[in-house]
Amino acid sequence: MTRKCFAFVFSLLLILSGFSGWGWISAEEGGFATARSVAEGILSSQLADDRADSAQAWIDGALSEKAGTGTEWYVLALSQWGDYDFSTYEEALLRYLKSNQVLSASSRQKYALCLSAVGSTDGYISAVMEDSMGKLGLMSWIFGLHLLNNGYVSEEYTAPRVVETILAHQCDDGGWALTGDVGDVDVSAMAIQALSVYYGSDDSVKRSVDRALSFLSERQLAQGDYVSYGVENPESGAQVIVALSSMGIDCQTDSRFIKDGNTLFDGILKYRLPDGSFAHKQGESSNQNATMQVFYSMVSYLRMAEGKPPLYVLDRAEPDTVEPSYSLLYEETRNEEDSHESELNGVTEEAEEKEWRKGYKLPVCLILLGIGGAVCLILCLVKKRHVKNFLAVWLTVAVLIGVVLLTNIQTKEEYYGAREPAKEHVTGSVTVTIRCDSVAGEVSSQYIPSNGVILGATEFEIQEGDTVYDLLTEAARRYGLHFESRGTDEMAYIEGIQYLYEFDFGELSGWKYSVNGVEPSVGCGTYRLSPGDQVEWYYSRD
């Protein structure tokens, strides 16, 4: 099915769902229809992007191919919305987990929730219950509680104990935050999502959640949406919709969440694009994270409207799991993994200089031509002189030469020595600092200064759209700093800087960043900088 067909289907859905141009139908007349049309619009846009002609084909195709790399929330939402076959996806995700060591506790829990959502009985879920609960701060308590709420059991932690721990983290303003004492909208909504199951039976939960709902109501903007760290966005509103729906609260009619006549749906609509997907910020292009969060928030609302359990009370959960067929506990393989990384990444500078030389392409191409000639000579000697044989040889050589010519392999010196291209539209400058004071003196490494200052406050020019990740990359290149990350662009996550990695000093240790002294709740690839900002990367033990 072509993209034009998807556009036609999407337009038809909008008409049938009650749209008049871009205007919303009233909440009283069609909150359910509105949520359904938004979800269907997102689904249509994703099917078009991945060239799938149905949701089932999308699950078996692109979602399975990308298993483990960011499709989990789409799969969880689809499992709670429709009757699909997830066997192909389950197999793909288990393959990913068997071949990749997942170090983050909350990431392990995310995969466990996804497996539970598709009805898997693999032992990964039960193993995660024992090795991840509370190991990465508040979010690992929240995700862990979701698993407990679905009937999975931990030998060490019970649901009441985890609930008590989450309540103890509540800030004075009624919200929750990953760090600091000021509540964050997204984190507060996520805490409510997990606690909602106990609202009617636990007075302490009821009091805490009521305070959190007041906090979320107070933070809502006049147009119905929310702002996080200076940026109005749809993701925060989406999390609040999931929280309210988990509580059985209709965000379209509850007066606490209607500001100047605008509901949460009105606030989210601001960010919708013509193809049905969503932007993170008004005026920007489609954003996968924003689109995905809005999608599962609509599914959550639809479940509430139909009288079904909350989004994270999973329909297909099968708590009676089998034993895992492979090790999940990263502690067991940490030394082996570190040794392997040393073999791969710890190549000496001398070896690099010998291996890669400037102007490698011409010699490699000549070698390939020589090999081609030698193979042709052998063909002649063994009397295989058919023209097809020679064509096959030279076609293969031509393809290999093309690969070499199109590949740009640089030495470390070439990469770090290259001048950064001049920025065309400079809007100002920011300062970047990189420190690891918390472990200075405890790290035996030539790369870590004794005072913990890897990069003192250094000024960098920025242009419109530059992110914290962009500036870290520029700093690394300009000053020859090592850093490793996973994910790309807005999903980038920093694993190590100057050979100092996450988890080196405990399960809660790793690299964090702040802007103007505040720790943003978004990734470094998402946070866009403004002139005068002061960015600090620092290694934290917790």
Per DSSP, the residues of 337-358 read HHHHHHHHH---HHHHHHH--T
* DSSP alpha helix (H) spans, 50-67: 55-58, 64-65
In the DSSP assignment, the letter for residue 26 is P
Q: How far apart are CA 293 and CA 185, in angstroms?
A: 14
Asked if 462 and 471 count as a contact pair (C-beta separation under 8 A), the reply is yes
Residue 201 pLDDT: 93
CB contact burial 127-139 (16+ within 10 A = b; e otherwise) = bbbebbbbbbbbb
Q: Which of 331, 473, 494, 478 is nearest to 417 (CA)?
A: 478
CB contact burial 296-321 (16+ within 10 A = b; e otherwise) = bbbbbbbbbbeeeebbbbbeebbeeb
Give CA 289 to chain center in angstroms: 7
Rg (CA), the chain: 26
Which parts of the chain have pLDDT scores under 70? 1-30, 229, 320-360, 407-422, 444, 487-490
Q: Report how far apart, in Å, the C-alpha atoms of 157 and of each of 116, 165, 264 are.
A: 19, 11, 36
**Amino acid type, 315:** D
Residue 400 pLDDT: 85
Q: How far apart are CA 257 and CA 260, in angstroms?
A: 10
Q: How far apart are CA 523 and CA 536, in angstroms?
A: 14
Residue 276 pLDDT: 95
Residue 526 pLDDT: 83
pLDDT tens digits, one per residue of 161-185 = 999 999 999 999 999 987 778 899 9
Q: Which residues contact 498 (CB under 8 A, 6 or more apart)?
A: 434, 436, 445, 447, 448, 454, 481, 482, 483
Against a cut of 0.85, is the pTM above it? no
Phi, psi of 237, rounded to the nearest 5 degrees: -60, -35
Residue 358 pLDDT: 45
Residue 360 pLDDT: 63
Residue 359 pLDDT: 58
> Architecture of 420-540 per CATH?
Beta Complex (2.170)
Taking the C-alpha atoms of 379, 384, 388 and 394 in order, what is their torsion angle to the nearest 10 degrees?
A: 0
Residue with tokens 């990189």: 434
Contacts 24+ apart (CB under 8 A), 8-11: 9/44, 10/40, 10/41, 10/44, 10/45, 10/275, 10/276
CB atoms within 10 A of CB 461: 16
Q: Which of 45, 47, 25 is nearest to 35 (CA)?
A: 25
In the DSSP assignment, the letter for residue 467 is B
Residue 383 pLDDT: 78
Asked if 21 and 15 count as a contact pair (C-beta separation under 8 A), the reply is no
Q: How far apart are CA 336 and CA 98, in angstroms?
A: 16
Strand partners, 428: 462
Residue 229 pLDDT: 63
Asked if 332 and 272 count as a contact pair (C-beta separation under 8 A), the reply is no
Residue 403 pLDDT: 78
Q: Which of 478, 488, 498, 476 is nearest to 525 (CA)?
A: 488
